[in-house]
Chains A and B, each alone.
Chain A
Amino acid sequence: MYMLSSKIKLTAIILMVVGLIGLVYGFLAAPDNVEEVKEMMAAEEHHDGSHAAVSNESTAQMQATEDASHNTANAEATGAGEGDHGDSHYEHLLHQLQSKPWSAIYVSAFFFFMIALGTLVFYAIQIAAQAGWSPVLFRVMEGITAYLLPGSIIVVLIVVFAGTHFFPWQNEELVAKDKILQLKAGYLNLPFFIIRAIIYLIGWNVYRYFARKYSVEQSNAAVNDYRPYKKSFKAAVFFLIFFILTEMTMAWDWFMSMNPHWYSTLFPWYVFSTMFVSAITVIAIVTVFLKRAGYVTFINDSHIHDLAKYMFAFSIFWAYLWFSQFMLIWYANIPEEVTYFIMRIEEYNLLFFGMLVLNFVFPILLLMNSDFKRIPHFVVGVGIIILIGHYIDVYLLVMPSTIGPNWFFGIPEIGSLLFFLGLFIFVVGAGLGKESLYPKGNPFLKESENYHY
């Protein structure tokens, strides 16, 4: 049995407390009205006058080009009454700055939530595929998916209450002026949005509940009684169908509709690839951690090798989808579609292309060698690079759409990252400790234990 050591527990709690302070600060520091925005801008100009003026200029330019983005639309909607262009600019800035702490929480909340969900998908695939190598890892995966319940509730609460901070189509004034948004109101309306979110929440968690239940039942079943395993198999297959459909609509709901004029058919699968590769990486890291602490002597370096191969393969898969989406939009250069990438390339240049190095170039070079994939600390090192890269990826899904050019990596971002990291460690640690890490009774367990590659 694994027990979360008091040292780790304390660390997790400290992370959460520190993170929470950062979060609260983020909300308090956000301006309440236009006057405060003006003061902030003045203070900034005091520091570096010419630079601030230039960046403001480029911000205004950006808004002019970013026609399809809600940012402009919002500014128009809120600033229309004022009439004065200068004020509408500050109104717009105010809205973006107020969205900043929300976005900061959401990026981290979704990042850790998607790791739990991706792990659940990987787990379901292993069961549905009757994999012979991975059963020794099942309890590790089940432990990680313990985070799914709190993580998904938090994420759903954020998207439901974020309102116009994230989703301009929830702004009624704006929709009244926008023909295209009216057309989409059949899908993009608040009640239906909430119903969908609740369906995802229930569906994913119900599968996680039953998967865990059957897994424990199988351990307690008589020899050669495989009924719980068979039930688990069926549940996994139906979950995978449910997942591929809900993941698609989830990506539309929670990310794509932040830019309600923009659309890309590949988008949901792209979000999935980020989720999946991050999850596999975390499985590998947690496994290495448990192995080094001596809890999982039945896991050998071949299992690590296989996980590293998945990290390698799905990093390439992610890059394939990233490139397909980017290249096709770049190549055709249709005005409605390119705004998405113009914002990201002009305002987030380093992150946007740096992420490619972290998520593609490093993994492909470092994990190519078969021997390296067996070295636990090497896999962890590459894993951390991959996780940083995919955090940036989620950051780039959200930030350019919600706060536009006003980004910087500050206290709210670090605070929320620390908070959710602490929560993740705490919940996953507790989840790992609930059952034996040895999944006794699994029909493929012996194959898995004797697995050598």
Chain B
Amino acid sequence: MSSHYEAPIREPLVIGDKSYHDVSNDVAAPVEGRANKSWWIVFSIALVAFLWGLGCIIYTVSTGIGVWGLNKTIGWAWDITNFVWWVGIGHAGTLISAVLLLFRQKWRMAINRSAEAMTIFAVFQAGLFPIIHMGRPWLAYWVLPIPNQFGSLWVNFNSPLLWDVFAISTYLSVSLVFWWTGLLPDFAMIRDRAKTPFQKKIYGILSFGWSGRVKDWQRFEEVSLVLAGLATPLVLSVHTIVSFDFATSVVPGWHSTIFPPYFVAGAIFSGFAMVQTLLIIMRKVVHLENYITVLHIEYMNKVILLTGGIVTVAYITEYFIAWYSGTSYENYVYLSFGAATGPYWWAFWALIICNFVVPLTLWVKSLRRNIMWTFVVAAIINVGMWFERFNIIVVDLSKGRTPSGWAMFSPTYVDIGVFIGTIGFFFVLFLLYARTFPVIAQAEVKTILKSSGEKYKKLRAKHGDD
């Protein structure tokens, strides 16, 4: 990196007259302070939703999958829709911390910690579904290739559902390690500031005795880079493998070779939308407007535009090839003329409007930099990407090759309850995180303060670069 030089036309990433000490203070404030009333209210709501969802899960497992709205034609619906949706959301975190690190995007530093937290909590939610949608979840350990007393009965490595097991578990563990490594210097900072012995003890354990020596930092950087290099193919392959669940099949609409990159682009698209949703609230509540600036929001909107554009091109491809293939079965797939006018027309148009039409507004600079509008668009994309997965799964299954098997799907309250439960669980975790973890990687922000901080950029403009 070229000392502290940065082109003057770049906008500052840290605004206000901040010093290193201010950064520490601002980041530690939520951890050191006490939760206010609104935090408790929101936390209670999330907890209730979580407990309700837990009830639904217990009811499903103890009574049987039949309490869901699935039928013999549509064997996957909300369960796998929610699974893919949550995994997709989880991808933005790794993208921000790994891919943007490889591309040396300094703006990632203010948002990577929360994005990674979001990843991990979202993958937790996703991880529930492959287990609870099983008919006999207590035999779930049979998916693991462990030597056993059935003549060492093994798993079949040809199934993408098995690849999912490896993909998701590897993804969760690597993300967790990557996240925790980055947390060490920040936990150490909180440990060193702690006033109560209890807090000191806890953060002392969490920070693994980090003392910030030169050699430690050097290795820290190397590990981050290697993990970023590993996490990038991982993030691509995980959602690719999720897409294989569909694309390896022969179901019309599912069997499509574009699914691997298209699912990944969609994952980044939905993941960034969720990051926007969370951070726009967080920067306000935790007073981090100087670090998560309008510029950060604009950059994220640009990523949303890019990935949304890629997803749109994939929609066009799917739609075109459904026609071009000349197969009559393809007329009922989720992106076809038949889907646009069939019984699930509302799901088709919800997808088009939420994922294509509304995000187009972000091309307008003033809307891209408008925080309220960004929040609205991000929420709409989250809905739209849920519909995308719903359409791929349910619309394609509903009208298969044999008309006598055609069916419709409608969810029961248990389907919906489990989904609400995962949203509640996600927010329980995220709210606890926001009160106990340094939500901004202060050690990283401090490395760019003098090159990209507003104060220092002004000084350089006045006194020259050298």
Chain A residues within 8 Å of B, Cβ to Cβ: 130, 132-133, 179-180, 183-184, 187, 226, 241, 244-245, 248, 252, 263-269, 316, 320-321, 324-325, 327-329, 331-332, 334, 443-444, 446-447, 450-453
Q: Which of A130, A184, A452 contacts B2 (CB 8 A)?
A: A452
Kindly list chain B residues whose C-beta atoms are within 8 Å of the C-beta of A268: 317
Q: Say yes or no: A264 contacts B7, CB within 8 Å.
A: no
Q: Within the assembled complex, what's the spacing in Å between the Cα atoms of A453 and B221? A: 13
Closest A residue to B260 by beta carbon equals A324
Q: Say yes or no: A183 contacts B249, CB within 8 Å.
A: no
Besides A265-B258, A266-B261, 8 other A-B contacts (C-beta < 8 A): A244-B310, A248-B313, A252-B324, A265-B318, A324-B260, A328-B260, A443-B9, A450-B2
B173 at the interface (CB under 8 A from A): no
Q: Within the assembled complex, what's the spacing in Å between the Cα atoms of A164 and B370? A: 54
Q: List 20 A-B contacts (CB under 8 A).
A: A132-B6, A184-B326, A244-B313, A245-B313, A245-B316, A248-B313, A248-B317, A263-B325, A266-B260, A320-B233, A324-B240, A324-B260, A327-B248, A328-B260, A332-B249, A332-B250, A443-B8, A447-B7, A450-B5, A451-B2
Kindly list chain B residues whose C-beta atoms are within 8 Å of the C-beta of A245: 313, 316
Q: Say yes or no: A226 contacts B258, CB within 8 Å.
A: no
Q: Within the assembled complex, what's the spacing in Å between the Cα atoms of A324 and B258? A: 8
B272 at the interface (CB under 8 A from A): no
Closest A residue to B3 by beta carbon equals A450
B255 at the interface (CB under 8 A from A): yes
Q: Within the assembled complex, what's the spacing in Å between the Cα atoms of A327 and B247? A: 10
Known contacts A241-B309, A328-B248, A329-B257, A265 near B3 by CB under 8 Å: no
Kindly list chain B residues whose C-beta atoms are within 8 Å of the C-beta of A179: 326
Q: Say yes or no: A334 contacts B257, CB within 8 Å.
A: no
Q: Say yes or no: A267 contacts B257, CB within 8 Å.
A: yes
Kindly list chain A residues whose C-beta atoms are within 8 Å of the C-beta of B9: 226, 443-444
Chain B, 312-371, CB within 8 A of any chain A CB: 313-314, 316-318, 321, 324-326
Closest CB in chain B relative to A316 CB, distance in Å: 7
Closest CB in chain B relative to A140 CB, distance in Å: 20
Q: Within the assembled complex, what's the spacing in Å between the Cα atoms of A277 and B247? A: 26
Known contacts A266-B260, A266-B261, A244 near B309 by CB under 8 Å: yes
B35 at the interface (CB under 8 A from A): no
Closest CB in chain A relative to B52 CB, distance in Å: 39
Q: Within the assembled complex, what's the spacing in Å between the Cα atoms of A331 and B321? A: 20
B236 at the interface (CB under 8 A from A): yes
B244 at the interface (CB under 8 A from A): yes
Q: Within the assembled complex, what's the spacing in Å between the Cα atoms of A254 and B236? A: 29
Q: Say yes or no: B326 contacts A180, CB within 8 Å.
A: yes
Q: Within the assembled complex, what's the spacing in Å between the Cα atoms of A226 and B240? A: 42
Closest CB in chain B relative to A396 CB, distance in Å: 17
B139 at the interface (CB under 8 A from A): no
B1 at the interface (CB under 8 A from A): yes
Closest CB in chain A relative to B225 CB, distance in Å: 9
Kindly list chain B residues whose C-beta atoms are within 8 Å of the C-beta of A452: 1-2
Q: Say yes or no: B248 contacts A331, CB within 8 Å.
A: yes
Q: Which of B2, B257, B310 contacts A447 (CB 8 A)?
A: B2
B256 at the interface (CB under 8 A from A): yes
Kindly list chain B residues whose C-beta atoms are within 8 Å of the C-beta of A133: 104
Q: Within the assembled complex, what's the spacing in Å between the Cα atoms of A125 and B197? A: 52
Kindly list chain B residues whose C-beta atoms are within 8 Å of the C-beta of A324: 240, 257, 259-261
Closest CB in chain B relative to A257 CB, distance in Å: 9
Kindly list chain A residues whose C-beta atoms are within 8 Å of the C-beta of B318: 265
Closest CB in chain B relative to A287 CB, distance in Å: 19
Q: Within the assembled complex, what's the spacing in Å between the Cα atoms of A334 and B251? A: 11
Closest A residue to B251 by beta carbon equals A332
Q: Which of B6, B244, B256 contacts A265 (CB 8 A)?
A: B256
- Size category of the B interface is 35 or more
Q: Say yes or no: A187 contacts B257, CB within 8 Å.
A: no
Closest CB in chain A relative to B95 CB, distance in Å: 15
Q: Within the assembled complex, what's the spacing in Å between the Cα atoms of A320 and B6? A: 35
Closest B residue to A230 by beta carbon equals B9
Q: Which of B104, B247, B313, B316 contacts A328 (CB 8 A)?
A: B247
Q: Within the assembled complex, what's the spacing in Å between the Cα atoms of A180 and B5? A: 61
Closest B residue to A181 by beta carbon equals B326
Q: Within the assembled complex, what's the spacing in Å between the Cα atoms of A448 and B86? A: 39
Closest A residue to B106 by beta carbon equals A132
Kindly list chain A residues whose C-beta atoms are within 8 Å of the C-beta of B250: 332, 334
Kindly list chain A residues whose C-beta atoms are within 8 Å of the C-beta of B314: 265
Q: Within the assembled complex, what's the spacing in Å between the Cα atoms of A446 and B310? A: 33
Q: Within the assembled complex, what's the spacing in Å between the Cα atoms of A348 and B309? A: 36
Closest CB in chain B relative to A122 CB, distance in Å: 14
Kindly list chain A residues whose C-beta atoms are within 8 Å of the C-beta of B256: 265-266, 328
Q: Within the assembled complex, what's the spacing in Å between the Cα atoms of A183 and B323? A: 9
Could you mark each residue 95-112 of chain B with 1 if its beta carbon is under 8 Å from any beta carbon of chain A, else 0?
Answer: 000000000100000000
Kindly list chain B residues whose C-beta atoms are within 8 Å of the C-beta of A450: 2-3, 5
Q: Which of A265, A327, A444 contacts B7 (CB 8 A)?
A: A444
Q: Which of A187, A252, A325, A328 contacts B244 (CB 8 A)?
A: A328
Q: Within the assembled complex, what's the spacing in Å between the Cα atoms of A159 and B244? A: 35
Q: Which of B7, B237, B244, B321 contacts A446 (CB 8 A)?
A: B7
Closest A residue to B244 by beta carbon equals A328
Could you mark each residue 286-315 of chain B with 1 if its beta carbon is under 8 Å from any beta carbon of chain A, else 0?
Answer: 000000000000000000000001100110
Closest B residue to A132 by beta carbon equals B7
Q: Within the assembled complex, what's the spacing in Å between the Cα atoms of A267 and B321? A: 11
Kindly list chain A residues whose C-beta atoms are within 8 Å of the C-beta of B3: 450
Kindly list chain B residues whose C-beta atoms are within 8 Å of the C-beta of A183: 326
Closest A residue to B225 by beta carbon equals A370
Which among B10, B248, B324, B465 has the highest number of chain A CB atoms within 10 Å? B324
Closest CB in chain B relative to A367 CB, distance in Å: 12
Kindly list chain B residues whose C-beta atoms are within 8 Å of the C-beta of A184: 324, 326
Closest A residue to B103 by beta carbon equals A129
Closest CB in chain A relative to B137 CB, distance in Å: 27
Kindly list chain A residues whose C-beta atoms are within 8 Å of the C-beta of B321: 263, 265
Which among A265, A324, A444 has the highest number of chain B CB atoms within 10 Å? A265
Chain B, 1-41, CB within 8 A of any chain A CB: 1-3, 5-10
Closest 9 CB pairs of A and B: A450-B2, A265-B258, A266-B257, A324-B260, A180-B326, A331-B248, A266-B258, A325-B257, A264-B257
Q: Say yes or no: A263 contacts B324, CB within 8 Å.
A: yes
Closest CB in chain A relative to B193 CB, distance in Å: 34
Q: Within the assembled complex, what's the spacing in Å between the Cα atoms of A133 and B5? A: 12
Which among A179, A180, A263, A329 has the highest number of chain B CB atoms within 10 Å? A263
Q: Within the assembled complex, what's the spacing in Å between the Cα atoms of A179 and B255? A: 23
Q: Say yes or no: B236 contacts A265, CB within 8 Å.
A: no
Closest CB in chain A relative to B220 CB, distance in Å: 17
Kindly list chain A residues whose C-beta atoms are within 8 Å of the C-beta of B465: 446
Q: Within the assembled complex, what's the spacing in Å between the Cα atoms of A184 and B327? A: 11
Q: Say yes or no: A265 contacts B317, CB within 8 Å.
A: yes
Could you mark each residue 42-63 of chain B with 1 if its beta carbon is under 8 Å from any beta carbon of chain A, else 0?
Answer: 0000000000000000000000
Q: Say yes or no: A265 contacts B2, CB within 8 Å.
A: no
Q: Say yes or no: B325 contacts A321, CB within 8 Å.
A: no
Could you mark each residue 443-466 of chain B with 1 if its beta carbon is under 8 Å from any beta carbon of chain A, else 0?
Answer: 000000000000000000000010
Q: Within the assembled complex, what's the spacing in Å between the Cα atoms of A26 and B79? A: 60
Closest A residue to B6 by beta carbon equals A447
Closest B residue to A269 by beta carbon equals B261
Kindly list chain B residues whose C-beta atoms are within 8 Å of the C-beta of A226: 9
